[in-house]
Amino acid sequence: MSAPLLEASGLVKTFGTNRVLRGVDVQVPSGSVTCLIGPSGSGKTTVLRSLNGLEAPETGTVRIDDVALDWAARPDARAVSRLRAQSGMVFQSHNLFPHLTVLENVTAGPVLAQGRPRAEARAEARELLGRVGLADKADAYPVQLSGGQQQRVGIARALATRPRVVLFDEPTSALDPELVGEVLRVMQSLAAEGWTIVVVTHEMRFARQVADQVLFLDGGVVVESGPPAEVLVEPRERRTRQFLQRLLDPL
């Protein structure tokens, strides 16, 4: 078996006196979908943000493809941004650039950061917008779109820099329920195209149907991991069972 595309090990992160990550390992094979699930405060978002350096763990290593980072060695901003360039990110609250059009949002990375030719970036951005079903919204401003459309622009923007891995931080949690489907369907199609995806999510149906592996986190550690058919259907750990039970029956 070849080495995983993304590999993180021994991630430890403390906020003040609160140790949110207590040694987390993640391995993501190329072309696979990994779902991070767990109760709020379990550290799943911190794990995701450690993979692109939006959080700086105290110790642990992250490697994506051939770019590796040892957090204990206090890497400088350059090293962190080299790791960050390996991935794209979709945020819970989309974080689109409100002063730019949809097309400019998507070309911002390729043109302003990667220095690619504008015409080429625009053509590719239009193609990406077509793939997320928003070809006709290229000249709109984000404020003119629905929440689901905004999130799909966010996905196109994340893909535009041609990342090796796409990180999703609760991409549907801020959406009205009827808009969740359109975003999940786009994510599902990306998975089918072979993108490598890591998702923090509460959408268990998505995890069931699309994920190749599910990591259940609680208290800053990976309590249980494996294929969704095991972790979500026949969990070995009591904490996993309790968590799934609460999702199933909130009252």
Partner 1 sequence: MSTIDWDLVRTSLGPLLGGLLRGTLPLTALSFVLGLALALVIALMRLSGRRVVSALARAYVSLVRGTPLLLQLFIVFYGLPSLGLTIDPFPSAIIALTLNVGGYASEAVRASILAVPRGQWEAAMTVGMNRTTTLRRVVLPQASRIAVPPLSNTLISLVKDTSLVSTILVTELLRKAQEIAAPSFAFFTLYGVAAVYYWVVCLALSFGQTRLETRLSRYVAA
Residues that bind partner 1 (CB under 8 A): 52, 54, 77, 81, 84-85, 87-89, 91, 93, 95-99, 108-109, 112-114, 141-143, 157-158, 160-161
Parallel, antiparallel or unpaired: strands 33-37 and 213-218: parallel
CB of residue 87 to partner 1, shortest distance in Å = 8
CB of 21 to partner 1, least distance (A): 19
Half-sphere exposure of 14 (CA within 13 A, CB side): 6
State the minimum distance, in angstroms, from the CB of residue 204 to partner 1: 26
Q: Are 11 and 50 in contact (CB under 8 A)?
A: yes
| C-alpha dist (Å) from residue 51 to 5, 45, 48, 191, 225 | 12, 10, 5, 19, 18
The b/e string for 46-55 (b: 16+ C-beta within 10 A; e otherwise) is bbbbbbbbbb
Least distance in angstroms from the C-beta of 250 to partner 1: 28
Phi, psi of 15 (to 5 degrees): -105, 110
How far is the C-alpha of 84 from the C-alpha of 56, rounded, in Å? Answer: 12
Report in angstroms how near the CB of residue 239 gets to partner 1 at its nearest. 30
Using CA atoms, how far apart are residues 84 and 86, in angstroms rounded to an integer?
Answer: 5
Question: Which one, 89 or 214, has the nearer CB to partner 1?
Answer: 89
